[in-house]
Amino acid sequence: MSLEVKVPVVGESITEVTIAQWLKKDGDRVEMDEVIAELESDKATFELPAEAAGILRIVAQEGDTINVGAVICRIDQDGAATPAAPAANQEAAPAQATAPAQAAAQPAAGATAGAGEAVEMKVPTVGESITEVTIASWLKKDGDHVEMDEVIAELESDKATFELPAEAAGTLEIVAQQGDTVEIGGLLCRIVPGAGNVKANAQAAAKQEEATQQVAAKADAPSGAQTYASGTPSPAAGKILAEKGINAADVQGSGRDGRITKEDAMGAQKTAAKPAAAAAPKQEAAAEAPAATGERNQRREKMSSLRKTVARRLVTVKNETAMLTTFNEVDMKPIMDIRAKYKDKFKEVHEVGLGFMSFFTKACTVALKEWPSVNAQIDGNDMIFNDFVDVSIAVSSPKGLVVPVIRNAESLTLDGIEKEVVRLAKKARDGKLSIEEMTGGTFTITNGGVFGSMMSTPIINAPQSAILGMHNIIQRPVAINGQVEIRPMMYLALSYDHRSIDGRESVSFLVRVKELLEDPMRLLLGV
């Protein structure tokens, strides 16, 4: 039986890919989930795993550009294995098999032992715009026994962190390692039914023996005995090295089996040999320079998916919007007096504290109804106006800035808003926010005052058109009815997209928010 392998869907905006290279030849035997090719789109490079075991029949050639869903190759599942290579070639073969082949072989051994058919666990679909996830941590070890629905790993995307529950009970066989980035549908692990304790020990012993043999083989083998990936740059990494004029042989690969990744290429530095005579004067000059004192340690960390996405979005907003910021100040005494008078009773009745965020959110919902363009978005040549207000609240989590959404904030009371803020902030700190809780939003509020910021120009949370920045409260002298008084004052900043919001609308919106906050009774009376 022949299985057609087609170009998978790798992103909602990607319609075609280019075959960067075939890692297996036409007629070679491939194993289930073994990486057989590297595909390249205009946004990323990714691997193509075999969807079955059998004989590979290549349809599209290296360098071809084909559409998503088109046939790229076929796998003859009933085909016989290709003849064994001569002894000389076997000696030159890699001492260590590729990880996918090892992982595919392990379930077969388990089945032979009568443990039953292994359950393959793949990366689930977690959002229409998410194409890959990073394994943040394995909560169970390879060979451990796991129960059905037990959480075995934490996965991290560019938007959220979520848990991976076991799809069956049995022995866990990990395929993708912690820190690996795996595409949606990619294989993460297998679960072999059975108690797992005896089998886990046998597998551990077998793996230890295999590792010992590999170390011995590497010690006896020539220095060139490596896998096909060792020292080989990915297509994206190859382009970067070519632009820098750096030889791939001078770069240490940190990817699987020693592959040179895009990050390796970006961090590579060109080293040019210099004549000894020319270097001598510089060495003498360096000797004359004063030596640095004290510790001068550095450390390099890879950016998380969340941090990379935030960075990309912020740069995009700065480049693609006509962003301006207008400022005003608010006398916070009326709100502070209300909180001092009623906060204990408020918490007793509603079981939640009375904070500033509920007042600001409520004031913004009223002002947004009066100035709807501030609550709108640009979509191509159209403007979308919303008759509801979904307020995004910027929250600093341990893994970076996240922006959960309070839905229909215009219909919530002060206690309803406070309860949503507490709920979402707790989930953000615990890394438990779902994709649905962070998508959408028509207007954003960010509070830099909790960190001591006195003034800032917040960046718009695209595709929204405006964001309100709160700041810290400072006791300052102000003129009240012709007299100088010390009042708790806060600066407000409204950053907005001038393409859809005029100056009159932005300033009027901020003035309206100021009025509502300085006279909170307006919020209750709707005036």
Which residues are known catalytic residues?
Answer: 498, 502
Print burial letters for 251-288: b (CB count within 10 Å at least 16), e (below 16).
Answer: bebebbbebbbbbbbeebeeeeeeeeeeeeeeeeeeee
Residue in the structure block whose two tokens are 């962003």: 323
- Where would I find the beta strands (DSSP E) of 403-516? 405-406, 443-447, 466-470, 473-480, 483-497
Q: How do strand 35-40 and strand 16-22 relate by DSSP bridges? A: antiparallel
Rounded to whole angstroms, the Cα distance separating 73 from 60 reads: 7
What's the residue count for the chain?
527
Amino acid type, 426: K
Tell me how far apart the alpha carbons of residues 345 and 335 are, in angstroms, rounded to a whole number: 15
| Location of structure tokens 């998508």 | 439
* Sign of the four-CA dihedral 440, 405, 522, 497: negative
- Report residue 108 as tokens: 């077969």
DSSP 519: S
The 8-class DSSP code of residue 169 comes to: S
The token pair at 269 is 């530095």
Give the DSSP H or E segment for 71: strand 71-76
> How many whole angstroms separate alpha carbon 499 and alpha carbon 487?
36
Which amino acid would we find at residue 39?
L
CB atoms under 10 Å from CB of 198, counted, come to 11
> Which residues make beta-bridge pairs with 22?
37
In this structure, what are the phi and psi dihedrals at residue 227, rounded to the nearest 5 degrees?
Answer: -80, 170
464 DSSP assignment: B
